Amino acid sequence: MNSNLISRITFIAACVVAASGCWTSPKSQSPEGPVNYRNERVDFSNTNVKDLVNSNKAMNSNREDDRSKKEGYAANLPSGFEQPTDDVGRMLLREYGSVFVARGGVTPPAKVVFRDQDEVSGFQSGLKTSKATIGGSRLELQAPAMEALQAAIGQARAKGLDISPRGADSAKRTYDETVGLWKSRVDPALVHWVGKGKLTKADADRIKGMSTFDQVKEVLRLEEQGIYFAKDLSKSIIYSVAPPGTSQHLSLLAFDVKEFDNAEVRRILNENGWFQTVASDLPHFTYLGVKESELSGLGLKRMTSSGRTFWVPDV
Ligand SMILES: [Zn+2]
């Protein structure tokens, strides 16, 4: 492992530990069960940490200008939005932040990271939601998002196309499911490293028994020693999953589409206010509730990756 990589991992670890107040352990763990977490891959591998720090510095120095302009991304955030004050929080805002400027009568969260299941339940219980059975799965979204999705499904059907969920967890998720995603990386990695003799069985048991809060810190400490927890075990877990509490699915404004490879399906979804906003996650669509021509007015910018168009915060 080269020293540059070590310093990057160390930097990320420091950021995460600094921000770890955001991630308290849930009161209960959900069983892993049949929930399909594959759709929720978050890949930070394209994020150059030096660029991130530099852009944060630039963001800070431009803050006065942003305030005076009263436009752009920051001005379109919900009133009372809790701006992240740490590097990881700002990175998460850049990676997932498009959802916070959603329109069309929906309620985006007013913070980047939910602290625990209680906070998620509190947010979700205040929403006007709608349920429907789509592709054999019972799904729940914020009501305007569901209405727009069903309009898109109708338009697709008229052209002989399907728009269906990738799995039962393609729409709403709970906080505990995001903890489950984190565990779906940590637990197999522990088995792997015990098998390689890098950790003892006692170490693995101790780590598994930790709260999510403590486990995040411990996992990142081990990664400083080259014991990695990403799915392929060759890089930081931060490049593989989001920390618990950050998924757009918690907001009931995201939908993972089975037919995401079909350009016409993507066009129909776009026409109905559903856009791709997380560059590393191809099946994942976010309800933004406006026409494509209005997105730049919300402070989002167009980005092309893997031949797809993504709308991300222009920060
Ligand atoms: Zn998704």
What is the pLDDT, as a whole number, of residue 85?
87
Tokens of 219: 């996992």
Distance 81 CA to ligand 1 centre (A): 23
- pLDDT higher than threshold 90 for residue 241: no
Distance 86 CA to ligand 1 centre (A): 25
Distance 254 CA to ligand 1 centre (A): 6
Task: Specify burial of residue 292 (Cβ count, 10 A radius: 0-12, 13-18, 19+).
Answer: middle
Distance 27 CA to ligand 1 centre (A): 24
Q: Is this structure's pTM higher than 0.95?
A: no
What average pLDDT does this structure show over 200-226? 88
pLDDT one-digit tens code per residue, 73-111: 999 999 999 998 877 678 789 888 999 999 999 999 999
Distance 64 CA to ligand 1 centre (A): 34
Q: Which residue's entry shows tokens 């997380």?
A: 278
What is the pLDDT, as a whole number, of residue 149?
98
Distance 164 CA to ligand 1 centre (A): 13
Distance 229 CA to ligand 1 centre (A): 21
Q: Which of 4-8, 127-131, 278-282 has the lowest mean pLDDT?
A: 4-8
- pLDDT higher than threshold 90 for residue 273: yes
Distance 234 CA to ligand 1 centre (A): 24
What is the pLDDT, as a whole number, of residue 80?
95
Distance 194 CA to ligand 1 centre (A): 31
Q: Which residue's entry shows tokens 């998620």?
A: 120
Bridge partners, 301 (sequence order) = 312
Given a contact cutoff of 8 angstroms between Cβ atoms, the answer to whether 59 and 90 are in contact is yes
One-letter amino acid at 15 equals C
What is the pLDDT, as a whole number, of residue 216?
77
Distance 279 CA to ligand 1 centre (A): 11
Distance 41 CA to ligand 1 centre (A): 8
pLDDT one-digit tens code per residue, 255-269: 999 999 999 999 999
Distance 65 CA to ligand 1 centre (A): 34
Distance 214 CA to ligand 1 centre (A): 26
Q: Please say whether the dihedral angle defined by the alpha carbons of residues 273, 123, 85 and 208, taken in this order, is positive or negative.
A: negative
Q: How many residues does the chain have?
A: 315
Tokens of 107: 């309620």
Distance 256 CA to ligand 1 centre (A): 5
Distance 40 CA to ligand 1 centre (A): 5
Instruction: Give the 3-state secondary structure percentages of the chain, helix then strand then coil, rounded to 5.
Output: 45, 10, 40
Confidence of residue 227 (pLDDT cuts 50, 70, 90): very high
Q: Half-sphere exposure of residue 62, counting CA atoms within 13 Å on the CB side?
A: 12
pLDDT over 70 for what percent of the chain? Answer: 77
What is the pLDDT, as a whole number, of residue 181?
86
Higher pLDDT, 137 or 22: 137
- Among 285, 256, 287, 246, smallest CA distance to 119 is for 246
Higher pLDDT, 81 or 64: 81
Distances (CA, A) of 312 to 109, 140, 270, 309: 17, 24, 14, 10
The stretches of 84-211 forming alpha helices (DSSP H) are 87-96, 117-125, 143-158, 175-195, 201-208
Distance 47 CA to ligand 1 centre (A): 19
What is the pLDDT, as a whole number, of residue 25?
33
Please give the helix or strand (H or E) that residue 256 lies within, else none: strand 254-256
Strand order in the sheet with 254-256: 254-256, 284-287, 274-275
What average pLDDT does this structure show over 29-56? 38
Confidence of residue 41 (pLDDT cuts 50, 70, 90): very low
What is the pLDDT, as a whole number, of residue 171?
96
Distance 247 CA to ligand 1 centre (A): 8
What is the pLDDT, as a whole number, of residue 167?
92
Distance 6 CA to ligand 1 centre (A): 30
Distance 227 CA to ligand 1 centre (A): 28
Distance 240 CA to ligand 1 centre (A): 14
Higher pLDDT, 233 or 279: 233
What average pLDDT does this structure show over 7-33? 38
Tokens of 190: 């522990």
One-letter amino acid at 280 equals S
- pLDDT higher than threshold 50 for residue 288: yes
Distance 169 CA to ligand 1 centre (A): 9
Give the pairing type, strands 137-142 and 308-313: unpaired
Distance 58 CA to ligand 1 centre (A): 30
- pLDDT higher than threshold 50 for residue 187: yes
SS3 149: helix
Mean per-residue pLDDT over the chain, rounded: 81
Confidence of residue 204 (pLDDT cuts 50, 70, 90): very high
CA–CA distance, 307 with 47 (Å, rounded to integer)? 19
- Among 107, 102, 97, 86, smallest CA distance to 23 is for 86
Q: Please say whether the dihedral angle defined by the alpha carbons of residues 97, 312, 102 and 245, taken in this order, is positive or negative.
A: negative
- pLDDT higher than threshold 90 for residue 122: yes
CA–CA distance, 9 with 302 (Å, rounded to integer)? 29
Give the pairing type, strands 274-275 and 300-305: unpaired
